[in-house]
C-alpha cells in the first residue's frame, strides 16, 4: 500500500504523537479561557472552512477553531485544497496514494472520490505536487477531530477559478463531504499594512464579494478562495470569520508579518 508521506513534520508541526496532541489540547485550553467564543464555536455545524497553513506555533490556534467546528459535521470524506508552493505545474493534481501519514495515525484516502474527480473534472496526478505544506499541515487536525473520515488532497498550480469552482460546488452540495480551503493572507508587510490588506480579504470572504477579493487581497490561495466563494453563493452559503492573527502575535516582530485567518461557511438566514 502506498502512503503520502509527511514532508514538513518537525518543521511546521510535530512528528511526535504526544507533542501534536498536546498542541491541539493547548489550543482548546486557550479557548476555554474565553467561554463566549467556545460557546459560539460549539453551536455551529459547517461543511466548508478556510484555514491557514503556517507553522502550528503561529497559525495553529487560528486553524484549530475551524476544525473544532468541523468536528460536529457528519461527513465521510474531507477534501483539502491548497496552492502549490514548491513546484510549478498547470492545473489541479490529486494524490493517488492509499493513505495519508500523520503523527496521529494514517488517514485513508477516498479512492472512489479520486476516481470520480479524474473522470468528471479537470484533475490529473502530478506526483511532485504532493510534497506540499499547504495541505499537509491540515491532516493531523482532521485525524484528531474526524478520526473516521477519509481524505482527498488536491493541490493546484497554474489553475483557473473555472476549473476549481465546479469541484467545490459538487462537494458543498453533497453533505457527505467537507471542503478545507487552505490559504494564508498577506506576506512580509508591516503589521499595520498587513492589517489593512488582510481586512480586504476578510471582508471579501464574509461578504462573498469576488471583485473585492481581486482588489488588493494578497492571499496566496486566492484562486481557491474565489472558487470557494462562487460555489458557496450557488449553495446559499455565507462566510463567518472565526479568527484573524498575524505572526507578530507569536514572535512580536511587527516589521515583517504573515497574516492568518479562519472562517466557516453557513447557510444564509
| Distance in angstroms (rounded) separating the CA atoms of residues 211 and 75 | 31
pLDDT grade, residue 15 (50/70/90)? very high
Say whether 71 sits in a helix, a strand or coil.
Answer: coil
Residue-wise pLDDT tens digits, 193-214:
999 999 999 999 999 999 999 9
Average pLDDT, the chain: 95
Task: Identify which of 132, 114, 133 has the alpha carbon closest to the alpha carbon of residue 124.
Answer: 114
* Cβ-proximal residues to 216 (8 Å cutoff; 6+ apart), any chain: 197, 200
pLDDT at residue 177 greater than cutoff 90: yes
**Ramachandran region, residue 29 (left: φ > 0; alpha: ψ -120 to 50; beta: rest):** alpha
Q: What is the mean pLDDT of residues 6-26?
A: 98
Tracing cell 496532541 back to the chain, one arrives at: 21
pLDDT of residue 37: 76
Q: What is the mean pLDDT of residues 128-138?
A: 98
Buried b (16+ CB within 10 A) or exposed e, 7-20: ebbeebbbeeeeeb
pLDDT at residue 33 greater than cutoff 90: no
pLDDT of residue 133: 98
94 has which bridge partners? 154
Q: What is the mean pLDDT of residues 116-145?
A: 97
Residue-wise pLDDT tens digits, 70-87:
999 999 999 999 999 999
Buried b (16+ CB within 10 A) or exposed e, 214-242: eeebbbbbbbbbbbbbbbbeebebbbbeb
- Say if residue 84 is exposed, middle or buried (CB neighbours under 10 Å; 0-12, 13-18, 19+): buried
| Distance in angstroms (rounded) separating the CA atoms of residues 41 and 67 | 10
Pairing of strands 257-267, 48-51: antiparallel
- Alpha-carbon dihedral sign for residues 148, 107, 223, 133: positive
Q: What is the mean pLDDT of residues 136-161?
A: 98
pLDDT grade, residue 34 (50/70/90)? confident
Task: Identify which of 57, 54, 78 has the alpha carbon closest to the alpha carbon of residue 67.
Answer: 78
Give me the domains of the chain, ranges plus CATH numbers: 21-267 (3.40.830.10)
Amino acid at each position: 500500500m502506498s502512503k503520502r508521506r509527511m514532508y514538513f513534520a518537525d518543521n511546521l508541526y510535530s512528528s511526535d504523537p504526544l507533542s501534536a496532541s498536546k498542541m491541539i489540547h493547548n489550543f482548546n485550553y486557550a479557548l476555554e479561557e474565553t467561554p463566549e467564543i467556545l460557546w459560539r464555536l460549539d453551536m455551529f455545524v459547517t461543511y466548508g472552512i478556510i484555514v491557514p497553513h503556517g507553522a502550528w506555533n503561529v497559525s495553529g490556534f487560528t486553524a484549530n477553531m475551524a476544525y473544532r467546528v468541523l468536528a460536529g459535521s457528519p461527513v465521510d470524506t474531507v477534501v483539502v485544497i491548497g496552492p502549490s508552493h514548491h513546484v510549478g505545474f498547470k492545473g489541479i493534481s490529486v494524490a493517488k496514494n492509499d493513505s495519508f501519514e500523520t503523527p496521529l495515525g494514517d488517514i485513508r484516502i477516498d479512492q472512489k472520490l479520486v476516481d470520480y474527480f479524474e473522470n468528471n473534472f479537470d484533475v490529473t496526478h502530478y506526483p511532485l505536487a504532493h510534497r506540499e505544506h499547504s495541505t499537509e499541515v491540515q491532516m493531523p487536525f482532521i485525524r484528531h477531530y474526524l478520526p473516521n473520515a477519509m481524505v482527498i488532497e488536491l493541490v493546484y498550480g497554474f489553475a483557473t477559478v473555472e476549473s476549481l469552482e465546479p469541484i467545490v460546488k459538487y462537494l458543498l452540495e453533497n453533505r457527505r463531504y467537507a471542503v478545507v480551503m487552505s490559504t494564508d493572507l498577506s506576506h512580509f508587510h508591516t503589521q499595520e499594512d498587513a492589517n489593512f490588506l488582510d481586512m480586504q480579504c476578510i471582508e471579501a470572504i464574509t461578504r462573498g464579494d469576488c471583485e473585492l477579493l481581486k482588489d488588493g487581497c494578497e492571499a496566496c490561495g486566492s484562486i481557491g478562495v474565489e472558487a470557494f466563494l462562487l460555489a458557496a453563493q450557488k449553495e446559499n452559503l455565507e462566510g463567518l470569520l472565526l479568527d484573524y492573527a498575524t505572526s507578530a502575535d507569536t514572535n512580536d516582530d511587527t516589521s515583517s508579518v504573515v497574516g492568518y485567518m479562519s472562517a466557516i461557511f453557513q447557510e444564509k438566514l
